[in-house]
Structure 1
Amino acid sequence: CHKIWEDDDFLAFLSIFPNTEGFTLLITKEHHDSYIFNLEDDLLHKFILAAKHIAKLLDTKLDDVSRTGLIFESSGIDHAHIKLIPMHGTSNISKWKPTTTYLDKYFKKYEGYLSSHESLRKDDKELEKTAKKIRLQ
């Protein structure tokens, strides 16, 4: 593997199937279920701190990057992993400003990838129906 960092608990390496330069995988050295929200809280906390460290490496070592995205997708392999994706073209951001992408694409089921794009405005009645389904009563 093309290792970029490791400690006693975690290993970070470059993806061999990147969709952008520096796409990194952070994994636990011990086997854990791929759904990281099943991890014990102390391990999850350490995992997030390790991801923060890797994100800062990517932000400082890649010329046009000052932000890194993070995905806990829990697919592809059955082993706890975090995907860190450098956001190229963000190094010239001197003051935060919103960046949005609107696509007329709404997912009714998981298609093998996650997307953070915004879609069309959802009707408030539909949103309330979903909120009622999710929230604690």
Structure 2
Amino acid sequence: MSLDGTYDPNNIFAKILRGEAPCARVFEDDHVLSFMDVFPQVKGHTLVIPKHSSARNLLEEEPQVLSPLILGVQRVARAVRAALEPDGLVITQFNGTAAGQTVFHPHFHILPRWDGVAVGRHASGGMADPAELKALAEQIAAQIT
């Protein structure tokens, strides 16, 4: 998909927000939802999405949605760091198919990084074990402040 188009209310993140699809929930408030990526690039790969959005990407998002979204990203990233003790964190966001975006709802990826540990390609690995994701989500959620 290009950078332009119509928001699809049946994308997987919209379904998760409506409770029509499951997720390993990490954090939720009035503005954001965070959960584990089911196709993780690395252990602890976490997503943060806005709850009230009809944008397809960051470029289309309303400013009043972006402020609490980035604060949610920071909050969850701090919890990932505390829970998993990585050597670093990658926080990334894709816009358009050519950039690697696969779900057309604004979202950020938080990837803990350890020296010497390779990272898989975005959305190219196999689906993670739901029980492992749930345990990771609980471990990270326990560190939310």
Number of residue-to-residue matches in the alignment: 91
Query: Retained in 2: the 8 A contact 1:60–1:66?
Result: no
Among 34, 45, 51, the alignment partner of 1:29 is 51
Query: Which of the two has greater helix per residue?
Result: 2
Match in the other structure for 2:91 = 70
Q: Give the deviation of 1:88 after TM superposition.
A: 2.3
- 1:84 maps to which of 110, 119, 124: 110
| Structure 1 partner of 2:83 | 61
Paired-residue identity, %: 24
CA distance in 2, matches of 1:19, 1:68: 13
**Residue among 3, 24, 27 paired with 1:2:** 24
* Structure 1 residue runs of 4 or more that deviate by more than 6 Å after TM superposition: none
Q: Which has the higher contact order (CA 8 A, sep 6+)?
A: 2
Give the Cα–Cα distance (whole angstroms) in 1 for the partners of residues 87 and 30 of structure 2.
27
- Given that 2:52 and 2:65 are in contact with CA atoms closer than 8 Å, whether structure 1 keeps it comes out as no
C-alpha distance in 2, partners of 1:53/1:89?
Answer: 23
Q: Which runs of 5+ in 1 are unaligned?
A: 91-111, 114-137
RMSD of the TM alignment (CA)? 2.0
SS in 2 for 1:11: strand
Which of the two has higher C-alpha Rg? Answer: 1
For 2:63 and 2:53, the matched residues in 1 are separated by: 16
Aligned-pair CA distance for 1:66: 4.7
TM, length-normalised to structure 2: 0.56
Q: CA deviation at 1:68?
A: 1.7
Q: Give the TM-score taking structure 1 as reference length.
A: 0.59
